């Protein structure tokens, strides 16, 4: 049996040219020829910490070339990589630690002390740090060791990563992704989007979610491509580097912000053959304005942590605004009713998918996993969709109560649970209201109990230690009572209608 470790496939595709660049980062450049050695040093450190195949390795660090090399080292170790949004707070981290119990936690140097305390309480004693300037204990250790040249033998079904995704119940779930989930999806996208020799990817996404970590990095790695690697998204810097790139991947906010720049247009985009958008709905008006300015249409695709990329507009055929295209090769998609029966074409239902891209379940949550699968293996995405006679899919809404702010998912339940604990709050309700920049903005609607002052500032101060910044309300509305139906359920639809004017 050949080794099914994803890294071996990347390795086979490293360009032969010793000068070929892998990452052209903000502070340093990493050549493909150095990837084995540099990730091999991290691999040696991980092994010295006792990491064996199947062990979880947490990473909560700023974006850097080293962070990517650490991800590759985890693949090589056969370890399960668990990237954490840098915005997560101590109380969110505490839960992740107790849930997946990592062998090693790699954190920012400034967080080393607080993470060591949290980790210690969870029985995790190996905490290493990694800074953006080549600092931190992981880097120091890596400099002292000989690179390990091995790649752990893996089966296709072995876990490569766990990505946390919140849920409607308010508790995060760890989505388990196998080497084959990641490889099959990467290969399909590489072909579907017609990656070609000489392609250069402009990467400005975070690397702790599916979009920036897997879709963007894997396509480039499978192509042996150079990646212009920006630590953060800054529309002006992206504009500056566009003439050096051929592919840009972003959330809709990237495109909205590019359109705000006077210098953005055909000249700046002339070298780019593919602008890809996903993670949140791309407004038809953004699509149209972009095509008029850049002279080419954005390609919108649709995905999810649990299932990678599921549908895409075609590379060569028409890209229709407001639609997410067709099921990718190898992915079966259907729009179904509550019982999982396919509905008539053109009718709204919940999108369900099946294929090698679909995850292996939620970490140690068999019941939650079972809830989201049909008996015939289809995964229930929770997105409301229609499919036309040709199979083209349009996402029309969500069956799940979810807000997507700038491409980040926020589950209202999680925010409401915290707001309800705030002094002065009788009850709360969180909705997304349309926002020109972020797509949707988290909005809290609060009923006060009169015992303490309630305002946006007070709420943000109360939540600061509890919830990542992107989950916190951007506005807060005080009301006397929440609208309810006869069953007593809060009518979010009516609140969205009342307070949902675009900002």
Residues near ligand AMP, by CB under 6 A:
165, 210, 278-281, 300, 302-305, 324, 381, 383, 395, 398, 404, 409
Query: Total binding residues for ligand MLC by CB under 6 A?
Result: 21
Q: Please give the Cα distance from 350 to 396 (Å, whole number).
A: 10
Tell me the closest approach of the beta carbon of residue 359 to ligand AMP, in angstroms: 11
**Contact string 424-463 vs ligand MLC (x = CB under 6 A):** --------------x-------------------------
Cβ proximity to ligand AMP: between 305 and 418 the closer is 305
Residue 361 contact, options ligand AMP, ligand MLC, none, Cβ 5-8 Å cut-off depending on partner type: none
Q: Is-contact 59 108, C-beta < 8 A?
A: no
Tell me the closest approach of the beta carbon of residue 340 to ligand MLC, in angstroms: 23
Report which residue's Cβ sits closest to ligand MLC: 406
Cβ proximity to ligand AMP: between 32 and 193 the closer is 193
Tell me the closest approach of the beta carbon of residue 351 to ligand AMP, in angstroms: 9
With H, G, I as helix, E, B as strand and everything else as coil, classify residue 445. strand
Which range touches ligand MLC (CB under 6 A), out of 41-49, 301-309, 387-395, 412-420?
301-309
Residue 158 contact, options ligand MLC, ligand AMP, none, Cβ 5-8 Å cut-off depending on partner type: none
Residue 165 contact, options ligand MLC, ligand AMP, none, Cβ 5-8 Å cut-off depending on partner type: ligand AMP
Give me the DSSP letters along 234-256. -HHHHHHHGGG-SEEEE-HHHHH
Residue 81 contact, options ligand AMP, ligand MLC, none, Cβ 5-8 Å cut-off depending on partner type: none
Q: Is-contact 482 492, C-beta < 8 A?
A: no
294 touches ligand MLC (CB under 6 A):
no
Tell me the closest approach of the beta carbon of residue 411 to ligand MLC, in angstroms: 13
Separation of CA 241 from chain center: 23
Q: Give start and end residues of each alpha helix (H) in 6-124.
A: 6-12, 32-48, 65-77, 90-100, 112-121
Residue 395 contact, options ligand MLC, ligand AMP, none, Cβ 5-8 Å cut-off depending on partner type: ligand AMP
Residue 66 contact, options ligand MLC, ligand AMP, none, Cβ 5-8 Å cut-off depending on partner type: none
Could you give the C-alpha distances from 284 to 287, 292, 298, 320, 468, in angstroms and in order?
5, 12, 11, 9, 30
| Dihedral angle over CA of 161, 165, 170, 171, nearest 10 | 0
DSSP at 470 = G
Tell me the closest approach of the beta carbon of residue 381 to ligand AMP, in angstroms: 5
- Identify which of 71, 434, 418, 111 has the alpha carbon closest to the alpha carbon of residue 221: 71
Q: Please give the Cα distance from 215 to 71 (Å, whole number).
A: 14
Give the torsion sign (CA, 483, 488, 492, 493). negative
Of the candidates 60, 279, 386, 428, which one interacts with ligand MLC according to CB under 6 A? 279
Residues 6 or more apart whose CB falls under 8 angstroms from that of 128 comprise: 45, 49, 104, 105, 106, 107, 136, 137, 138, 141
Cβ proximity to ligand MLC: between 5 and 418 the closer is 418
Burial of residue 434, with CB atoms counted within 10 A of its CB: 0-12 exposed, 13-18 middle, 19 or more buried: middle
Give me the DSSP letters along 117-156. HHHHHTT--EEEE--TTS-SHHHHHHHHSPPP-------T
Tell me the closest approach of the beta carbon of residue 191 to ligand AMP, in angstroms: 20
Which range touches ligand MLC (CB under 6 A), out of 37-45, 170-178, 206-214, 240-248?
206-214
Residue 300 contact, options ligand AMP, ligand MLC, none, Cβ 5-8 Å cut-off depending on partner type: ligand AMP
304 touches ligand MLC (CB under 6 A):
yes
Q: Please give the Cα distance from 343 to 353 (Å, whole number).
A: 14
Q: Is-contact 72 39, C-beta < 8 A?
A: yes
- Identify which of 200, 209, 181 has the alpha carbon closest to the alpha carbon of residue 83: 209
**Contact string 232-271 vs ligand MLC (x = CB under 6 A):** -x-----------------x-x------------------
Residue 78 contact, options ligand AMP, ligand MLC, none, Cβ 5-8 Å cut-off depending on partner type: none
Matching residue, tokens 């309800």:
420
| Dihedral angle over CA of 14, 135, 116, 471, nearest 10 | -70
357 touches ligand MLC (CB under 6 A):
no
Tell me the closest approach of the beta carbon of residue 165 to ligand MLC, in angstroms: 9
Structure tokens at 43: 């691999």
Residue 226 contact, options ligand MLC, ligand AMP, none, Cβ 5-8 Å cut-off depending on partner type: none
Tell me the closest approach of the beta carbon of residue 326 to ligand MLC, in angstroms: 16
Give strand pairing partners of 478.
446
Residues 374-413 that bind ligand MLC (CB under 6 A): 405-408
Residues binding ligand MLC (CB under 6 A): 205-206, 209-212, 233, 251, 253, 278-279, 303-305, 405-408, 438, 469-470
């Amino acid at each position: 049996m050949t080794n099914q470790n994803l890294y071996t496939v990347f390795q086979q595709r490293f360009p032969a040219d010793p000068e070929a660049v892998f990452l052209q980062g903000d502070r340093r450049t990493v050549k493909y020829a150095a990837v084995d050695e540099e990730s091999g040093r991290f691999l040696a450190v991980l092994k010295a910490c006792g990491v064996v195949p199947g062990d979880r390795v947490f990473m909560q660090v700023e974006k850097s070339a080293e962070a990517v090399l650490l991800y590759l080292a985890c693949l090589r170790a056969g370890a399960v990589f668990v990237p954490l949004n840098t915005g997560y707070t101590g109380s969110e981290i505490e839960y992740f630690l107790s849930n997946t119990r990592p062998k090693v936690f790699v954190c920012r140097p400034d967080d080393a002390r607080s993470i060591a305390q949290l980790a210690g309480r969870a029985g995790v004693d190996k905490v290493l740090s990694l800074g953006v300037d080549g600092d931190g204990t992981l880097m120091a250790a890596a400099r002292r060791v000989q690179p390990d040249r091995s790649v752990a033998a893996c089966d296709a079904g072995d876990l490569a990563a766990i990505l946390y995704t919140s849920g409607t119940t308010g508790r995060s779930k760890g989505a388990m992704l196998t080497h084959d989930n990641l490889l099959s999806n990467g290969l399909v996208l590489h072909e579907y989007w017609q990656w070609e020799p000489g392609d250069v990817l402009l990467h400005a996404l975070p690397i702790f979610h599916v979009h920036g970590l897997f879709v963007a990095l894997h396509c480039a790695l499978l192509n042996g491509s150079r990646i212009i690697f920006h630590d953060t998204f800054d529309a002006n810097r992206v504009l500056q580097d566009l003439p050096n790139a051929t592919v840009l991947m972003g959330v809709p906010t990237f495109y909205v912000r590019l359109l705000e720049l006077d210098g953005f247009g055909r000249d700046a985009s002339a070298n780019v053959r593919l602008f890809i958008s996903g993670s949140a709905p791309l407004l038809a008006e953004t699509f149209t304005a972009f095509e008029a300015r850049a002279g080419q249409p954005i390609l919108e695709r649709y995905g999810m942590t649990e299932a990678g990329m599921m549908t895409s507009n075609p590379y060569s055929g028409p890209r229709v605004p407001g639609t997410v295209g067709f099921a990718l090769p190898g992915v079966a998609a259907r729009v179904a009713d509550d019982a999982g029966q396919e509905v008539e074409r053109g009718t709204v239902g919940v999108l369900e998918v099946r294929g090698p891209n679909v995850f292996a379940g939620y970490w140690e949550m068999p019941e939650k996993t079972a809830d989201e699968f049909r008996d015939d293996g289809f995964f229930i995405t929770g997105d409301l969709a229609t499919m036309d006679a040709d199979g083209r899919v349009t996402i029309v809404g969500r069956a799940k109560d979810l807000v997507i702010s700038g491409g980040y998912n926020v589950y209202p339940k999680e925010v409401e649970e915290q707001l309800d604990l705030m002094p002065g709050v009788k009850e709360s309700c969180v909705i997304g209201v349309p926002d020109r920049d972020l797509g949707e903005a988290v909005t809290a609607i609060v009923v006060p109990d009169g015992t303490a002052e309630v305002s946006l500032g007070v709420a943000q101060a109360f939540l600061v230690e509890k919830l990542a910044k992107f989950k916190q309300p951007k506005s807060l509305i005080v009301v006397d009572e929440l609208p309810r139906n006869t069953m007593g359920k809060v009518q979010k639809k009516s609140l969205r209608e009342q307070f949902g004017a675009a900002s």
